[in-house]
Structure 1
């Protein structure tokens, strides 16, 4: 199996801030070695979602609702199979949109955008609250599509493994650099938000921005 940490380098990331609408957003892109119908099915079939992400219940169609076990729930605002869906995530001011397009050969171009109005941190700093979590999901989906996560796997157990905690730590530092490059937060603001992010995603790690 490819070193799980190497999978982080397959993701392209952006953090954006819109001062007019007071909205922070993150955008993640990755190419999957799978056809679009397979990727869509892995993202929307409850029996498959629970193998790589977490159990999800609800009426999984446009106008329906969903609930992730021990996590956020929301409304399914739009759904256009097998190309895109948009949902609220934990509240009406938090929107997640997933977009799929066929790539060359049997590949799929994946995009996930999470926009938060009035986020809990200044500017693009809000990315540190959600970006590392989405990194983990994007990596896990890739492992599942590649057949490296078995049908009897337990995502909760996997999430608490030392390998995934290390991945989370590296992800936080990756997002720190993305936010820093945006230039719209001070180093003091960045440090404060990064400490919260690291405590959430890798609790035993100590922040080092030297």
Structure 2
């Protein structure tokens, strides 16, 4: 059984003052700083999904992309592809949102991030009780929706939505519908 360590420091603190290269995504997994090039498929998914989500939120929550989120351990620092922030959430003393402010996280998987998205992030997001975790997979042409997190690091419900069908995100007291027919498809 996986356990997250509660810690008052943020994983992001190790990068304070660092001059990071542009064009790379930076995350911290199990205390290791991981930098990956930003991929075209990922960017196109964000470009198509974010405006749809933002329009439907209509002031009842917020959406962020590639923004540092503080998690309850100094070993994990994620900046989700898309994060839906619950209405009324406030930033911490570092100026960042914390894990408990997240209503949903959407990640676009690539060959280089597969292990993180399907295993490590899934476990961490479930342990942190993030209600909805969606993995968008351009190579499989599918969105994997994970609902009902457990403290064991799993989600009790999973559903696969093929590209071309509507991706329905059930949030607290409302529903967001994302059209996936424009999502990029890769064959690798």
Same fold per superposition (TM over 0.5):
no
Q: TM-score, normalised by structure 2?
A: 0.29
Q: TM-score, normalised by structure 1?
A: 0.27
Larger Rg: 1
1 or 2 for the larger relative contact order (CA 8 Å, sep ≥6)?
Answer: 1
